[in-house]
Amino acid sequence: MNDLQLVVQMIAYMEQNLTEDLHLEDLAGKSGYSANRFRQKFYHVTGDTPSGYLRKRRLTEAAKEILSGKRSLDISLDYGYSSQENFITAFRGYFGITPAELFAMDAKFKRFYSRFREVLNIMEIADLKQPPLNSTDMGCIKGASDYFDNDLSTAMVYGLSGYGFMINIHRDLCPSGPYVWNRERFHSLLRDQGVDFQRAYRIDRSHSREERMKVEEDLKDYLNRGWVCVLGYLESQLLSGYDEEGFIFLSPWEKAPTVVPRMTFGSWEECLEREGWAYFNIYAPRGDRLDLLTSVRRSWEYALELYRTPEKHASEGYRINYGGLENWID
């Protein structure tokens, strides 16, 4: 696990326990590192110490509760301050105003303060990149592999996954290799490389808003764990984070009409209004990778199988390899 994944997981834990009595030693023990080493890793990723992050997040949440009308005395007790005076001092030191001054503010300034974005409450994965590969599905796999520190070249990702041996063409010349073929062996080979497929979600117009929102919460949880989520739509795109309004996606190319920069929570209108569907694939890091020679042998076995028994892997309307080339010729 790299430092970013570790810190993201620990911040998710801290966010769930903001009102608990958390100490550096407790957090370090949960992270598996010494207190000093954990503090160094946390600072390297966030530019702040764990205690500093906790203090700022608690004060930010306290400010939201003041805006909602809750008493300073109650808030100070909720967030572990020994007295209301200590809370007011800390609040003024961070925001430059007292809780009473915040509560008395004009409505437009209250809205300004209430919409401030916190450090990682707005989730952005800075080290996640999507290479500009024309097979956007494989661009996402390469991005996930790099994010999981697997140190594989683009050619190795294509070859060891078996994807480099795949030709998959529809009778109407739709070259949708990344989307509509039996991916079971493909996912097995990805696991050998340290990219472990976990599950898929498919949503269309028939699903309710509540069902979409449940998927959204799951996706946020996966991001908090340091996993990788891939949007399957007209192109495949890596989910890079979210803000108050929706998910944010990486794009393999600039200004491409087939990619979506974001998806609105609840409605998913950017995908559902145009095509009526969208799906997500979820990948986790896997530590027990196979040695390179074994991975090469397994990928070649898959390549031979694709040529000898392509029908085992094809979806309706599609033909793989020689059959795909015949579709192209016809």
Q: Are residues 106 and 157 in the same domain?
A: no
User: What value does the mean pLDDT of the chain take?
Assistant: 87
* pLDDT score, position 266: 92
Q: Are residues 79 and 157 in the same domain?
A: no
Q: In which band, very low, low, confident or very high, does the pLDDT at 117 lie, cut at 50, 70 and 90?
A: very low
Residue 169 phi/psi, 5-degree rounding, is -130, 135
Q: Is residue 199 a part of any domain in this protein?
A: yes
Share of the chain above pLDDT 90, in %: 40
* 84-99 tens-digit pLDDT: 888 888 888 888 888 8
* 154-212 tens-digit pLDDT: 999 999 999 999 889 998 887 666 678 899 999 999 999 999 999 999 999 999 999 99
Q: Are residues 296 and 153 in the same domain?
A: yes
Q: Are residues 90 and 141 in the same domain?
A: no
Q: In which band, very low, low, confident or very high, does the pLDDT at 8 lie, cut at 50, 70 and 90?
A: confident
Q: Are residues 159 and 67 in the same domain?
A: no
Q: Is residue 62 a part of any domain in this protein?
A: yes
* pLDDT score, position 44: 83
Residue whose C-alpha is closest to residue 12's, from 217, 240, 224: 224
The answer, yes or no, to whether residue 122 has pLDDT greater than 70, is no
The answer, yes or no, to whether residue 325 has pLDDT greater than 80, is yes
Domain span at 61: 3-114
Q: Which residues contact 220 (CB under 8 A, 6 or more apart)?
A: 123, 242
pTM of the model: 0.65
Q: Are residues 148 and 279 in the same domain?
A: yes
The last residue of a domain, from among 56, 79, 114: 114
Calculate mean pLDDT across residues 47-56: 87
* 126-149 tens-digit pLDDT: 678 999 998 999 999 999 999 888
Domains identified in the chain, total number: 2
Q: Are residues 144 and 186 in the same domain?
A: yes
CATH number of the domain that 22 lies in? Answer: 1.10.10.60
Q: Are residues 168 and 102 in the same domain?
A: no
Q: Is residue 105 a part of any domain in this protein?
A: yes
Q: What distance in Å separates the CA atoms of residue 221 and residue 225, rounded to the nearest whole number?
A: 6
Q: Is residue 330 a part of any domain in this protein?
A: no
Please tell me the least confidently modeled range out of 101-115, 190-204, 300-314: 101-115
Q: Are residues 110 and 159 in the same domain?
A: no
Q: Is residue 221 a part of any domain in this protein?
A: yes
Q: Are residues 90 and 191 in the same domain?
A: no
Q: Is residue 52 a part of any domain in this protein?
A: yes
Q: Is residue 119 a part of any domain in this protein?
A: no
Q: Is residue 126 a part of any domain in this protein?
A: no
* pLDDT score, position 120: 46
Q: Are residues 102 and 12 in the same domain?
A: yes
Q: Are residues 75 and 208 in the same domain?
A: no
